[in-house]
């Protein structure tokens, strides 16, 4: 038990180190979110015709460079959880003892890839129906489904370059997100196009969100086509984002160019998805940091309890010992007094003979 107490001291140190590492990553993700929010303001301004889009693009590039700087600097003790160099990191959290067997347990931290490099356009979306389409026929789109039966078709198509394992297509419906990531078996599929497999995967992912009054229909006779229908009483915002396997989580930043009207429209769709990526990263780090703080507090209390338990078994009970000492001292005083009285009796008897 005493050795376990010493081991828990090491665990407390590990939790403190993990907490500091995640705190740095969380701060980086929150800073990136702030910078992307500022960039969104620039992109919105570029939607106006009577502006100098080249100057706005200069500001956008400067913000992108600042984001890269933040991501590169967000390391603690050599570990960076936001640049894509890590997938998961385990933080030693406890010792689980069963009789004589001791097993270490850890809290798994999922790293977030907020790097901005290696984005390759592929043009995988074809948006039809014209329902408030901000951008379509590209890697990003934004549309609004009107309430009371608003419908639009979104086609997942084989793009300009071949699909690769790890390519990801994400759709956001309101404040919820659904995605599908290409696998090796998808790429090797001979009976279906990869685009159609992605469409089916996205339909299943959207259905799993359980969004009331939204239906997504897939017709096998029309490969890759998803029909979205809004039967609710409020409009629903729908957006999509393609990300190739080799790009970072914010890889689409490299493609943002508001120097033209078309580029500004496309950028507006991209920035929403990028913002959500950084917000999700912040939330993920915040959640695991809370777990580590709770575990750290528990380990501290557990260590105190173990020390108290060990003390009750091996340390002296000072109160009991003190009471016994006082009782012994009283007994000694009484014995001394009795002997003193007895010693005086012979003198008293002799006095009678005088």
The residue among 125, 113, 60, 109 whose CA lies nearest residue 246 is: 113
162 shares a domain with 49 = no
Q: How far apart are CA 25 and CA 47, in angstroms?
A: 33
Strands 101-110 and 168-173: unpaired
Is residue 66, in this structure, part of any structural domain at all? yes
133 shares a domain with 202 = yes
215 shares a domain with 298 = no
241 shares a domain with 129 = yes
Is residue 257, in this structure, part of any structural domain at all? no
Is residue 313, in this structure, part of any structural domain at all? no
Is residue 323, in this structure, part of any structural domain at all? no
Is residue 351, in this structure, part of any structural domain at all? no
Is residue 82, in this structure, part of any structural domain at all? yes
Sign of CA dihedral 346, 348, 352, 354: positive
Is residue 315, in this structure, part of any structural domain at all? no
129 shares a domain with 103 = no
149 shares a domain with 44 = no
22 shares a domain with 129 = no
Structural domain range at position 224: 125-246
129 shares a domain with 112 = no
State which H helix or E strand residue 320 sits in. helix 318-353
84 shares a domain with 13 = yes
Q: How far apart are the first and last CA of the chain?
A: 76
- Please count the structural domains in the chain: 2
9 shares a domain with 103 = yes
133 shares a domain with 238 = yes
167 shares a domain with 78 = no
Q: How far apart are CA 36 and CA 225, in angstroms?
A: 32
Domain final residue pick, 219, 246, 273: 246
Domain final residue pick, 246, 268, 298: 246
Is residue 349, in this structure, part of any structural domain at all? no
Tokens (6 digits) for 37: 């929010």
Count the residues in the chain. 354
In tens digits, the chain (354 residues) has pLDDT values of 777 788 888 889 999 999 999 999 999 999 999 999 999 999 999 989 889 999 999 999 999 999 999 999 999 999 999 998 888 999 998 888 777 787 888 999 999 989 887 777 788 888 875 444 444 446 777 788 888 888 899 999 888 888 989 898 988 888 788 999 999 999 988 656 899 999 999 999 999 999 989 999 998 888 899 999 999 999 988 888 888 888 888 888 887 889 988 788 778 878 888 898 899 999 999 999 999 999 999 988 888 888 888 777 776 666 777 888 888 888 898 898 888 888 888 888 887 887
- Whether pTM > 0.95 for this model: the answer is no
Q: How far apart are CA 93 and CA 18, in angstroms?
A: 10
**Contacts made by residues 267-271, CB under 8 angstroms, sequence distance 24+:** 267/43, 267/46, 267/60, 268/43, 268/44, 268/47, 268/134, 268/135, 268/142, 269/134, 269/135, 269/140, 269/141, 269/142, 269/239, 269/240, 269/241, 270/139, 270/140, 270/241, 271/36, 271/39, 271/40, 271/43
Query: The domain that contains 184 carries what CATH number?
Result: 2.60.40
Query: The domain that contains 83 carries what CATH number?
Result: 1.20.1330.10
């Amino acid at each position: 038990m005493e050795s376990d107490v010493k081991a828990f001291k090491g665990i407390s140190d590990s939790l403190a180190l993990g907490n500091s590492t995640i705190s740095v990553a969380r701060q980086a993700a929150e800073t990136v979110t702030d910078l992307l929010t500022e960039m969104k303001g620039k992109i919105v301004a570029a939607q106006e015709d009577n502006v100098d889009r080249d100057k706005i693009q200069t500001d956008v590039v400067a913000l992108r460079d600042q984001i890269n700087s933040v991501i590169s600097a967000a390391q603690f003790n050599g570990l960076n959880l936001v640049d894509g160099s890590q997938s998961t990191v385990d933080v030693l959290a406890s010792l689980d003892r069963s009789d004589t067997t001791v097993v270490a347990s850890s809290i798994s931290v999922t790293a977030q890839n907020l790097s901005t490099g290696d984005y390759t356009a592929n043009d995988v979306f074809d948006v039809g129906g014209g329902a408030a389409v901000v951008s379509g026929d590209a890697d990003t789109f934004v549309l609004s489904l009107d309430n009371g039966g608003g419908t639009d078709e979104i086609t997942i198509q084989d793009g300009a370059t071949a699909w690769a394992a790890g390519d990801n297509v994400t759709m956001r419906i309101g404040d919820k997100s659904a995605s599908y990531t290409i696998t090796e078996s998808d790429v090797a599929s001979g009976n279906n196009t990869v685009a159609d497999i992605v469409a089916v995967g996205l339909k299943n992912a959207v259905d799993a969100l359980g969004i009331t009054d939204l239906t997504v229909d897939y017709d096998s006779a029309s490969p890759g086509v998803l029909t979205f229908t809004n039967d609710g009483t409020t409009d629903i915002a729908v957006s999509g984002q393609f990300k190739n396997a080799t790009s970072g989580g914010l890889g689409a930043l490299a493609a943002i160019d508001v120097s033209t009207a078309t580029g500004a429209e496309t950028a507006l769709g991209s920035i929403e998805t990028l913002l959500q990526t950084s917000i999700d990263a912040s939330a993920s780090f915040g959640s695991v940091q809370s777990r580590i703080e709770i575990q750290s507090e528990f380990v501290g209390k557990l260590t105190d309890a173990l020390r108290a338990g060990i003390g009750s078994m091996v340390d002296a009970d000072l109160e009991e010992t003190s009471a016994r000492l006082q009782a012994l001292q009283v007994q000694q005083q009484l014995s001394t007094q009795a002997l003193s009285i007895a010693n005086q009796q012979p003198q008293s008897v002799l006095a009678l003979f005088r």
